[in-house]
Every structure is written in C-alpha cells, then in structure tokens.
A and B are shown apart, each in its own frame.
Chain A
C-alpha cells in the first residue's frame, strides 16, 4: 500500500462549480500535511498547509481527519486557472534530524468553460 494515495482523476469541473477530493495516508505518525499545486511541466509549489481545525485560503478549503487518516481539498467557484495537478504531501519526523516529506501521485483537475 502506498504511504500517500490520491485519486489521479482527472476531475472535469465546469467553471464556477465546486470540486473536492481527498488524500489518504497510512502512517499514523504523520505530523503535518500540505497541498502543493503543480502545473503541467512545471515544478510543484506550496498551495496551503492543512491544520487540524481546517483552514481556508480564499476559494480553497483544506480539512484533516486524523481518525480516518485523510485530508481533503475543496475548491469553490472554480476558475480556468485552477486547472492543475494537486499533490498531497505528508510530513514525518526523521530519527536523526529533519523531516521526510512523502508525496502522493497527484489529482488532476481540469476546469472547463
């Protein structure tokens, strides 16, 4: 079983609609969680961190469910520019120093006019 799993999609979303997707993680010692955005043939960039209480950043809402070991991302009022692959990232503290970030395979979102 992969440590971090995502539905690869694509999620085809009409412009202006809401889309939501989840990411499950297997290691209960996971400490922190993030969503990164990756445009086609570009590098990943941090979209938002995911806090235990849930958090919003404009049209984006992230939630964490530790009991069921998943995080979610919801995009409201989708824009054409939201078309991208969204990577779920889970952080685990390493024994010696630093942290290990484990990436999911990504969920592709296509927003269409």
Chain B
C-alpha cells in the first residue's frame, strides 16, 4: 500500500498565484484532513472531510478551499497565495471510529 501520498513535495509560488496541493490515500479511509505546520505552532487544522461530498472548516481555513469528490482524493486549493501561507502542509487520513491518523510526507510551500 502507498498509504497517503502528496504532490508536489516542494513548491515555490509568487504572491497572488493559485495552485492545488494533491492528496490521495489508498486505505479506504473515510476521514481526511489538511494541516499546516509552522515553527512553534504545532499542526493546525485547515479543512477536513468525514466522507465523499462532505467537507468542513478547521481552525485556519481562510485562503484555502477543498473538495472531496471521491473517497481517495482530497485536494487543497490555494486561491491567491500570500507569504503568510509559507508552511509545510500535511494531509492525513483515518478510519471512522479509530483515532490513529496517517500522514502524507508533506508539501513544503514557499510564497515569495
């Protein structure tokens, strides 16, 4: 099993550009989430989904959109990149009823 995969691994954007971070999991997990990790801040929840067609906002949703058209995929869209969005982004998935989250390898995003 590939587990949770994320692409790209690294990305540099200019302010105002848009892009989509891809996330896919092959474990048939119902729950998927996006986090950002900044130094000293811990992981903060951006958006999450409890199943295909259902998404909700996390702690820091502004500037990001998500959709969940399939169980496997949960892309994160940056609408108009800002330097404050420079961070490491992790996608995670878990099975309903269980607590362990499985994380992807992360995407390191720099916005100049």
A97 touches B101 (CB 8 A): no
Please name all residues of chain B whose beta carbon is closer than 8 Å to the beta carbon of A49 when the two chains form the complex. 99
Q: For this complex, into which size category does the number of interface residues on chain B fall?
A: 20 to 34
Instruction: Tell me, rounded to whole Å, the shortest Cβ–Cβ distance linking B42 to chain A.
Output: 4
Instruction: Tell me, rounded to whole Å, the shortest Cβ–Cβ distance linking A77 to chain B.
Output: 26
Q: Is B74 interfacial (CB 8 A cutoff)? A: no
Alpha-carbon separation in the docked complex, A44 to B96 (Å): 19
Give A15-48 as 1s and 0s: 1 = Cβ < 8 Å from B's Cβ atoms.
0000000000000000010100000011111100
Instruction: Tell me, rounded to whole Å, the shortest Cβ–Cβ distance linking A22 to chain B.
Output: 15
B-facing residues in A65-105 (Cβ within 8 Å): 87, 91, 96-105
Give B93-105 as 1s and 0s: 1 = Cβ < 8 Å from A's Cβ atoms.
0001001110111
Instruction: Tell me, rounded to whole Å, the shortest Cβ–Cβ distance linking B44 to chain A.
Output: 8
A106 touches B90 (CB 8 A): no
A103 touches B43 (CB 8 A): yes
Partner of A43, one of B48, B50, B106: B106
Q: Is A64 interfacial (CB 8 A cutoff)? A: no
5 extra A-B contacts, CB within 8 A, seeds A98-B50, A103-B42: A43-B105, A44-B90, A100-B45, A100-B58, A102-B45
27 examples of A-B residue contacts, CB within 8 angstroms:
A2-B42, A32-B99, A34-B99, A34-B100, A41-B106, A42-B105, A42-B106, A43-B103, A43-B105, A43-B106, A44-B101, A45-B103, A87-B42, A87-B43, A97-B50, A98-B31, A98-B48, A99-B99, A100-B45, A100-B58, A102-B45, A103-B35, A103-B42, A103-B44, A104-B42, A105-B41, A105-B42
